């Protein structure tokens, strides 16, 4: 029986998948509902779950492409880790570093897949296509949802969420509707954490 796939191609794909496994150990600042630091892999998984829940509302969108963007958007963090949004600064080299890390991670891949993954990341980063606009917005919303459900440390800055990613979540009506609900939940969490009534 003839092989279905060239052995060199298969080896490159498996090597990439094994290297990408590090995303499971790449911790973020967000906490799960039991107080454990979430991993970037968990964030990406839940981001994709969030997206597929709105398949009906996203009619006309290329859902497959949107999910690919969501899966790829933080892959580079497997190399250098995550920088919490609250610690990011304008004009830092985060995007350039993440792209360089992604290139390193994708090195074992066959040329066509390497090129495809980098093109998806570039599309996400530019946030110009309908799917990339949605991916960026949903990414911000998933992070905020995690902050609202997580068992966060004392003094957690919930107010940061109210400004976080506003530009990205305002670029599509569905994102804006979800954002309004998430902001309401954030304000409720702020009141609860401050013991402020109502």
Instruction: Tell me which of 146 and 94 has the higher pLDDT.
Output: 146
**Residue carrying the six token digits 């919490």:** 84
Topology adopted by domain 7-194? Hypothetical protein af1432 (1.10.3210)
138-160 pLDDT tens trace: 999 999 999 999 999 998 999 99
Taking the CA atoms of residue 71, residue 94, residue 116 and residue 131 in that order, the dihedral angle to the nearest 10 degrees is 60
**Neighbouring C-beta atoms of residue 185, cutoff 10 Å:** 17
pLDDT at 15 over 70: yes
**Model pLDDT, residue 87:** 65
Averaged pLDDT, 15-21: 98
How far is it, in rounded angstroms, from Cα 53 to Cα 159? 27
How far is it, in rounded angstroms, from Cα 92 to Cα 190? 29
30-85 pLDDT tens trace: 999 999 999 999 999 999 999 999 999 999 999 999 999 999 999 999 999 887 77
Q: Give the pTM.
A: 0.93
Q: What band does 88 get if pLDDT is binned at 50, 70 and 90? A: low
Q: Return the half-sphere exposure (C-beta side, CA atoms, 13 A cut-off) of residue 59.
A: 2
Q: What band does 194 get if pLDDT is binned at 50, 70 and 90? A: confident
95-129 pLDDT tens trace: 999 999 999 999 999 999 999 999 999 999 999 99
Cα angle 78-124-137, degrees, rounded to a multiple of 5: 100
Which of 25-29, 39-43, 169-173, 193-197 shows the lowest mean pLDDT across its residues?
193-197
């Amino acid at each position: 029986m003839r092989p279905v796939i060239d052995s060199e191609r298969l080896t490159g794909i498996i090597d990439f998948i094994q290297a990408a496994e590090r995303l499971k150990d790449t911790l973020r600042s967000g906490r799960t509902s039991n107080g454990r630091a979430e991993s970037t892999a968990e964030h990406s998984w839940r981001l994709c779950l969030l997206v597929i829940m709105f398949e009906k509302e996203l009619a006309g969108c290329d859902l497959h492409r949107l999910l690919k963007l969501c899966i790829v958007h933080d892959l580079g963090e497997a190399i250098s880790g995550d920088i919490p949004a609250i610690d990011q600064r304008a004009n830092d080299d985060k995007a350039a570093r993440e792209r360089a890390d992604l290139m390193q991670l994708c090195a074992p891949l066959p040329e066509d897949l390497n090129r495809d993954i980098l093109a998806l990341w570039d599309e996400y980063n530019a946030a110009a296509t309908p799917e990339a606009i949605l991916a960026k917005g949903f990414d911000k919303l998933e992070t905020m949802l995690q902050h609202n459900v997580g068992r966060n440390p004392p003094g957690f800055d919930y107010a940061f969420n109210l400004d976080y990613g506003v530009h990205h979540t305002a670029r599509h009506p569905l994102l804006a509707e979800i954002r309004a609900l998430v902001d309401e939940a954030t304000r409720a969490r702020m009141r609860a954490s401050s013991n402020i009534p109502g």
